[in-house]
Each structure stands twice: as C-alpha cells, then as structure tokens.
C-alpha cells in the first residue's frame, strides 16, 4: 500500500467505471502496470468489489432507522439468522457497548418499520433512532 495504490483507490472511489488506461493516465502508470496493481488489491481483499452508491430515499424508502439490539435469552444465532432474511438492511455490526448489535434499515412506511421492530422482539430488545439526514460525505 504505497502512495500510488492510494491514488488508485481514490480514483476508483470517485468513479469505478473508468478504463484501466484512463486510470493509468491519472496515476501516471502504464495500463498493464495499473491493471496488475488493481488485480492485487482485489486479491488481497482490500478492494472488495466494484459497486454503485444508491439514494435509498429516492428508491421509495423515505424512512431510515438505526436500531440498537440487545440480545435476549442468549438467542444470538436466532437473531443473526432472522437478520439474514431481510433485504432492507443496509448494515449490521456486532459491537462492544450497551447493545450487542447496531443495524441500519430502510422502510417505505412507518407501519413497515413497526412490523420490522416487532419481529425482532423475540430475540432482542431494541432502541430505535430514526435518521433525519446524512451529513455530507467524506
């Protein structure tokens, strides 16, 4: 991870669709050289994938909630399994702190949010924070 690799990552973060030639131009490297570096970054798992950034609100999910979940009755595995069945979860972290997990999910309506939280209750008690806005990206 030298300075050139950092530049490569910076450029791909801004636009992952540029060609290897264009990327080479931007970081002052030949196409085969930059291609090989990207391949290695993928191989090392530093670059996990090429993807898109989505605006979840504009996709018809105006409600976003961050939920802290504290597991009940030792039902860790049930909780994890339940979590996997949802497609409206943006991330879920196992954390050290007051709660056991912290997750973010999105909903079309408050009714959907209520249903979601209710469904978690057998496994965890929850504390829900609704998202007003995101402070501009970094």
Partner DNA sequence: GTTGAAAGACACCATCC
Partner DNA sequence: GGATGGTGTCTTTCAAC
Per CB under 7 A, the segment of 31-39, 71-79, 85-93, 112-120 that binds DNA is 31-39
Burial (CB count within 10 angstroms: exposed 0-12, middle 13-18, buried 19+), residue 64 = buried
- 22 is a contact residue toward DNA (CB under 7 A): yes
Q: What is the largest CA-CA distance in the chain?
A: 58
CB of 46 vs DNA, minimal distance in Å:
15
Question: Tokens for 21?
Answer: 């030639």
- Considering the rule CB under 8 A, would residue 3 count as an interface residue with a copy of itself? no
Q: Which of 90, 66, 78 is nearest to 119 (CA)?
A: 78
Contact predicate 95/50, CB 8 Å: no
Q: Mask of contacts with a copy of itself, 17-56, x by CB under 8 A?
A: x--------------------------xxxxxxxxxxxx-
Nearest to 89 by CA among 61, 48, 123: 61
- Judged by the rule CB under 7 A, the positions of this chain that interact with DNA are 4, 19-22, 24, 28-33, 35-37
Binding site for a copy of itself (CB under 8 A): 1, 9, 12-17, 44-55, 58-60, 64, 66, 80, 83-84, 86-87, 89-99, 101-103, 127-138
């Amino acid at each position: 991870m030298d300075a050139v690799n950092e530049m490569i990552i910076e450029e791909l973060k801004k636009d992952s669709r540029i060609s290897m030639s264009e990327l080479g131009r931007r970081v002052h490297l030949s196409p085969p050289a930059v291609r090989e570096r990207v391949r290695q970054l993928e191989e090392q798992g530093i670059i996990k994938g090429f993807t898109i950034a989505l605006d979840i609100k504009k996709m018809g999910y105006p409600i976003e909630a961050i939920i802290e979940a504290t597991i009940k009755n030792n039902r860790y595995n049930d909780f994890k399994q339940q979590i996997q069945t949802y497609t409206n979860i943006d991330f879920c972290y196992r954390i050290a702190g007051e709660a056991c997990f912290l997750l973010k999910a999105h909903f079309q309506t408050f009714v959907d949010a209520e249903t979601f939280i209710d469904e978690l209750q057998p496994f965890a008690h929850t504390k829900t924070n609704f998202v007003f806005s995101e402070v501009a990206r970094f």
